[in-house]
Amino acid sequence: MGAFQDLIYTAIFLGVLVTVHEAGHYFAAKWANVKVLKFSIGFGPKVFSFRRGETEYQVAAFPLGGFVQMAGMHADDSVDTESEESDRTYLGAPWWKRVFISLAGPLANLVFPIVALFFVYLGDSVDFTPRVGSVEPGSPAAAAGLRPGDLILSIDGTAITTFTELSKIASASADKELALVVDRAGKNESLRVTPANVETLGMIEVQRKGRMGISLAEQAAVLGVPAGSAAETAGLRTFDRVIQVDGAPVRTVRELEAALDQATGTAKVQVVRFRSIAPGVVSPELVLAEVQASEGAGLARIGAERGEAYVWEVRPNTPAAAMGIQIGDRFTSVGGQVVHSVGAVEDRMALARKRKMDLTWVSAGQVHQGSVGPLAPEGNAKYCMAPTDFGVRFGAPGLPMVPIAGETVKLHFGPVEAMQASLKKLPEGIMLIGKILSKLPTGEVPLESMGGPLQIAQVASQTAEQGLDSFLSAMALVSVNLALVNLLPIPILDGFNILIALWEAIRRRPPSLRVREFTTYLGFAVLALLMIVAFRNDIARLLFC
């Protein structure tokens, strides 16, 4: 049943997109009074067909495309000049009508995402409130005085209700001071924060964005214990998870620091310690330690740190292993930037896929330096589209480093709000697909990333299992891809037909029959080559990924 369902999902996914594209050509041809001989969804042997008026409608065996066959589409098509419909041919239509007919298919594929995403956004949804879960030490948020538990009410006088809104504003405000109003324990406080201008690796290129250094979620109370600290002397170890301080239960880093601030003299700290007894298998044990609390605040009172940026695992045969990084090491800077959290380390390390990055880390109290990158996939891994593995892991099986979920807020999008959201999303999809297509010829986006029918089938089945919203969102993105690809000036694609019509408008005569025949053969050859590459990539992913 699973394979049959996947086949149905794929047929719907491709069938709808192909029908939308060809319907654009069909209705444009009808508007231009060009005779449509056949409307086909799919290629190859006919599955079924029917005729209505002058047009035959059919579904063919292979739903990898479709076509609208118009009278006189090619210069060598035989047309009865004595017929009353001899002036209803494609090539006999004015150049601007041919441009519209060719453009209508891609335009239909750009209208489809608006409609699909409208239904994705319409109705109720749930998002997280803009309440601060944790603040990264040394970050702009920490410097501004933001604290865990603060609820951000407005930014520069504009009210915000979700963490998504907060993230978008911060991301677009690098090096720009923002005026915040926060609810802190029922009282409004005014703060000013300037998001840092940081580099991050997007889907295809390095980008700059603003980073405040806050997280939606609170971190579990997991310790990092430096060598020679009071915490180590008392018997505490890195990755210990604190569950009690002086008999009071502790869940998060915020609760742990508050408990340590209240401690006087010796603090009794109970932890769960996870011992690795086999690869991927850990065993918990309870440990009670008594630590002399000193001056300072929070974890500094016992000489400890947050354990989130400590290395739990180093995978063999990886760059990290080759550099000598060990379990329990802590990164202090990546690419010249000080890092305090897992998020900061991983964001900076992602840049090593594009260029050389300098690293500084502490191991057994000693500072080490090294460099890595650019990290390129090797061998069959290049087909898997998975990021190259530097080789370190933060957190572990059984260790609750998973963030604690924040508060949620229910949102309602009516028709107007849903349409506005879908219209806003379309340009983002166009820019993303456009960048990918523009970087394929230069190799910045490798040919191995191209996908064919098997990858589309996988996307269709996976998103269908996730729900209708995911399925429609995936269809919307592929529809944008189909539109832009068809606008490329490759013979037999819509973009080339538009180019030919414009050429005729400028030169006042169409290209010669010989030129048309040559470009048609060239177009088939280029598309055949691209399909071979796509099929090769699909098969390689099945075998190696």
Please say if the pLDDT value at position 81 is more than 50: no
Pair (96, 151) in one structural domain: no
Mean per-residue pLDDT for 514-539?
A: 83
How many whole angstroms separate alpha carbon 310 and alpha carbon 330?
5
User: ∠ CA 512-516-521 to the nearest 5 degrees?
Assistant: 150
Domains in the chain, number? 4
Structural contact between residues 306 and 224, judged by C-beta atoms closer than 8 angstroms: yes
More confident residue, 401 or 385: 385
- In this predicted structure, what is the pLDDT of residue 169? 93
Band of pLDDT at residue 160, cut at 50, 70 and 90 = very high
What is the pTM assigned to this prediction? 0.81
- Tokens 């993230």 belong to 167
Band of pLDDT at residue 402, cut at 50, 70 and 90 = very low
Please say if the pLDDT value at position 145 is more than 70: yes
Mean per-residue pLDDT for 200-219?
A: 83
Please say if the pLDDT value at position 250 is more than 70: yes
- In this predicted structure, what is the pLDDT of residue 89? 87
Residue 350 CB neighbours (<10 A)? 20
- In this predicted structure, what is the pLDDT of residue 84? 52
User: Whats the size of the chain, residue-wise?
Assistant: 545
- In this predicted structure, what is the pLDDT of residue 507? 82
Mean per-residue pLDDT for 231-249?
A: 89
How many whole angstroms separate alpha carbon 432 and alpha carbon 376?
22
Q: What is the DSSP string of 238-301?
A: TT-EEEEETTEE--BHHHHHHHHHH--SEEEEEEEEEEEEETTEEEEEEEEEEEE--SSSGGGG
Please say if the pLDDT value at position 420 is more than 90: yes
The number of angstroms, rounded, from the C-alpha of 238 to the middle of its chain's C-alpha atoms is 33
More confident residue, 95 or 75: 95
- In this predicted structure, what is the pLDDT of residue 424? 92
Mean per-residue pLDDT for 521-528?
A: 82
pLDDT tens digit sequence for 365-374: 889 999 987 8
- For the CA atoms of 298, 300, 301, 302, what is the dihedral angle to 10 degrees? 120
Q: Is residue 536 part of a domain?
A: yes
> Where a domain ends, among 306, 334, 356?
306
Pair (297, 349) in one structural domain: no
Mean per-residue pLDDT for 226-244?
A: 89
Q: Is residue 423 part of a domain?
A: no
Please say if the pLDDT value at position 73 is more than 80: no
Mean per-residue pLDDT for 440-461?
A: 83
More confident residue, 106 or 148: 106
Residue 123 DSSP symbol? E
Structural contact between residues 485 and 29, judged by C-beta atoms closer than 8 angstroms: no
Band of pLDDT at residue 406, cut at 50, 70 and 90 = low
Mean per-residue pLDDT for 38-54?
A: 88
User: ∠ CA 176-179-183 to the nearest 5 degrees?
Assistant: 140
What are the CB-based long-range contacts (under 8 Å, 24+) for 492-495?
492/520, 492/523, 492/524, 492/527, 493/523, 493/527, 494/102, 494/103, 494/105, 494/106, 495/102
- Tokens 């999008």 belong to 413
Pair (167, 181) in one structural domain: yes
- Domain range enclosing 343: 313-393
Pair (94, 147) in one structural domain: no
- In this predicted structure, what is the pLDDT of residue 401? 44
Tokens (6 digits) for 217: 């979620």
> Where a domain ends, among 257, 287, 306?
306
Catalytic residue among 22, 257, 305, 448: 22
pLDDT mean across residues, the chain: 85
Please say if the pLDDT value at position 455 is more than 50: yes
261: left (phi over 0), alpha (psi -120 to 50) or beta: alpha
Residue type, 354: K
Of all residues in the chain, what percent carry a pLDDT higher than 70? 93
Q: Which residues of 188-216 are buried (b: 16+ CB within 10 A; e: fewer)?
A: eeebebbbbebbebeeeeeeebbbbbbbb
Residue 355 sits in a domain whose CATH number is: 2.30.42.10
Mean per-residue pLDDT for 479-483?
A: 94
The interaxial angle of helices 95-121 and 468-486, nearest 10 deg, is: 160
Pair (475, 380) in one structural domain: no
Structural contact between residues 268 and 250, judged by C-beta atoms closer than 8 angstroms: no
Mean per-residue pLDDT for 333-362?
A: 85
Residue 97 DSSP symbol? H
- For the CA atoms of 33, 36, 37, 39, what is the dihedral angle to 10 degrees? -170
How many whole angstroms separate alpha carbon 501 and alpha carbon 336?
54
Please say if the pLDDT value at position 431 is more than 50: yes
Backbone angles phi, psi at 306, to 5 degrees: -70, 140
Asked whether the bond before 106 is cis by omega within 30 degrees of 0, the reply is: no
Pair (15, 118) in one structural domain: yes
Residue 142 CB neighbours (<10 A)? 17
- In this predicted structure, what is the pLDDT of residue 74? 66
Q: Is residue 422 part of a domain?
A: no
Catalytic residue status for 22: yes
Q: Is residue 432 part of a domain?
A: no
Pair (286, 318) in one structural domain: no
Pair (39, 110) in one structural domain: yes
More confident residue, 73 or 142: 142
Band of pLDDT at residue 104, cut at 50, 70 and 90 = very high
Q: Is residue 444 part of a domain?
A: no
Q: Which has the minimum average pLDDT: 136-140, 261-265, 273-277, 412-416?
A: 273-277
Pair (101, 38) in one structural domain: yes
Structural contact between residues 314 and 392, judged by C-beta atoms closer than 8 angstroms: yes
How many whole angstroms separate alpha carbon 75 and alpha carbon 38?
18
Of all residues in the chain, what percent carry a pLDDT higher than 90? 31
Q: Is residue 300 part of a domain?
A: yes
How many whole angstroms separate alpha carbon 134 and alpha carbon 217?
6
Q: Is residue 530 part of a domain?
A: yes
- In this predicted structure, what is the pLDDT of residue 182? 94
Please say if the pLDDT value at position 347 is more than 80: yes
Q: Is residue 410 part of a domain?
A: no
- Tokens 């550099």 belong to 323
Mean per-residue pLDDT for 119-139?
A: 89
- In this predicted structure, what is the pLDDT of residue 85? 60
> Where a domain ends, among 271, 306, 341?
306
Pair (287, 334) in one structural domain: no
Please say if the pLDDT value at position 474 is more than 90: yes
Pair (208, 139) in one structural domain: yes
Pair (24, 103) in one structural domain: yes
